[in-house]
Amino acid sequence: MNATTRTVEILADLIRFDTSNFGNGRATGESEAAEYVVAFLERIGLEPTIVTHTAAGEPDRPSVIARWEGTDQSLPPLLVHGHLDVVPAKAEEWSVDPFAGVISDGCVWGRGAVDMKDMDAMVLATVEDAIERGARPRRTIVLAFFADEEAGGVRGSHHVVTERPDLFDGVQQALSEVGGYSVTLSGKRAYMIQTGEKGLMWLRLTAQGRAGHGSHVNHDNAIVKLARALVSLGDVEWPVELTPTTRLLLDEVARLTGSDPAEDPHVIGDRTGFAARFVNASLQTTVNPTVLDAGYKHNVVPQSATALIDVRPLPGQNVDVLASIRELLGPDIEVSVDVDDIGFETTFDGDLVDAIAGVLARHDPGSVCLPYLLSAGTDNKALQRLGIRGFGFVPLRVPDSFDFPGMFHGVDERVPLESLEFGQKVISDLLLTY
């Protein structure tokens, strides 16, 4: 069976494991998905290692790591990693069952179809196909399938990096998610290669007040205090600041679209079409309230009110952004930090970038590669702790009319079959020739 057909089959299989990650140690299905990957790797002759995070009252969180030995041991190994968990999906919002692995209208549908069981499937199909053909990569490829990426990787990549750094011995560079998709700029196809990530801070704001009867005069209402704080936080216009990556990206977009590189950065960002959602968020710090929690009865003023805030600082700015948020909110709002993870950038050069450009030139002649700074986070943050330089490259040539960035964590998440076919061929070429 050819590797494209296998990619689709494996992707549908993986989607059928509901590996929803609800955060804070609440998750489902990862063990079953990891068992599938382990059995797959063992069947094709690899020897996977399972590193499991365990904690009382929580499900086991297994990550799977395996080495595919290359022919040239003098070359440093390349890490290719994906995650097996997904964000939850509300079935009633979808036009298909999000965990059925439906194939229709030229797409594979389901939670994880682009984030990121597509890459997991393309990699597994590639290794299986190569081994069946007797082909081997030049350098050793370390394969990793992590748990818990969608909750910051504490029980997945961070746990593996802490417990078993030896599994990544010699690895200097890594390939993973949220990059590699195509955009069309003035008729020219460009592939977005992720060369950095913004920081991530998940804050918890709490206002305290005077609890009491809902019919009384109350000038110390925790909900009102919290609401005021959220309005002032929401009104902040975080400044646009270009980093080396975003400066290079915008210059290239301006050049390709024949526009002025000195234009408003968001206007240039808009020229990347659907990718503008990612690009414009990489030009500044973003701060979004995402959860509110207060009260328990219509006629009771609660003593406290809480909001969760998702903060994505530009690389290197976590400390400063937190200080400005605390200053803005003042002493009445308690700010606690639930998650604090680094942002980083690498340069858009080196032998792996050259190899990616070369493979894309062979499979999509005339296309170009652009660097970009991811506005979200991936397991590359954990691997950064080992000094591993991470890139986002899930090669997918997507139709111009397809809102690919909108698929991430979106309703009716799906990936075109033609994109998977292209991607698997590119991955195969890259892994075997790099």
Q: How far is the CB of 86 from Zn ion (least distance, A)?
A: 8
**Closest to Zn ion by CB, 101 or 392:** 392
**Closest to Zn ion by CB, 137 or 377:** 377
**Closest to Zn ion by CB, 248 or 398:** 398
Q: How far is the CB of 83 from Zn ion (least distance, A)?
A: 6
Angle CA 285–287–289, to nearest 5: 170
**Closest to Zn ion by CB, 143 or 329:** 143
**Closest to Zn ion by CB, 129 or 177:** 177
Using CB under 5 A, list all residues that contact Zn ion.
115-116, 177
Q: How far is the CB of 116 from Zn ion (least distance, A)?
A: 4
**Closest to Zn ion by CB, 221 or 419:** 419
**Closest to Zn ion by CB, 102 or 119:** 119
Q: How far is the CB of 149 from Zn ion (least distance, A)?
A: 6
| Distance, CA of 407 to CA of 1 (rounded, Å) | 29
Q: How far is the CB of 322 from Zn ion (least distance, A)?
A: 25
Residue nearest to Zn ion (CB): 115
| Distance, CA of 85 to CA of 152 (rounded, Å) | 11
φ, ψ (nearest 5 deg) of residue 418: -65, -30
Cα–Cα distances (Å) from 288 to 250, 291, 414, in that order, read: 25, 9, 26
String of b and e for 7-44 (b: at least 16 CB within 10 Å)? Answer: bbbbbbbbbbbbbbbebebebebbbebbebbbebbeee
Q: How far is the CB of 225 from Zn ion (least distance, A)?
A: 36
| Distance, CA of 241 to CA of 337 (rounded, Å) | 24
Q: How far is the CB of 326 from Zn ion (least distance, A)?
A: 30
**Closest to Zn ion by CB, 63 or 206:** 63
CA 229 to chain centroid: 30
- Compute the half-sphere exposure of residue 92: CA atoms within 13 Å on the CB side of its CA: 0
Q: Which residues contact 174 (CB under 8 A, 6 or more apart)?
A: 78, 79, 80, 81, 380, 383, 388, 389, 390, 391
CA torsion, ordered 164, 169, 175, 176, to nearest 10 deg: 0
Provide DSSP, 128-166: HHHHHHT---SS-EEEEEES-GGGTSTTTHHHHHHH-GG
Q: How far is the CB of 178 from Zn ion (least distance, A)?
A: 6
DSSP tag of 92 = G
φ, ψ (nearest 5 deg) of residue 20: -60, 130
Q: How far is the CB of 21 from Zn ion (least distance, A)?
A: 10
**Closest to Zn ion by CB, 177 or 197:** 177
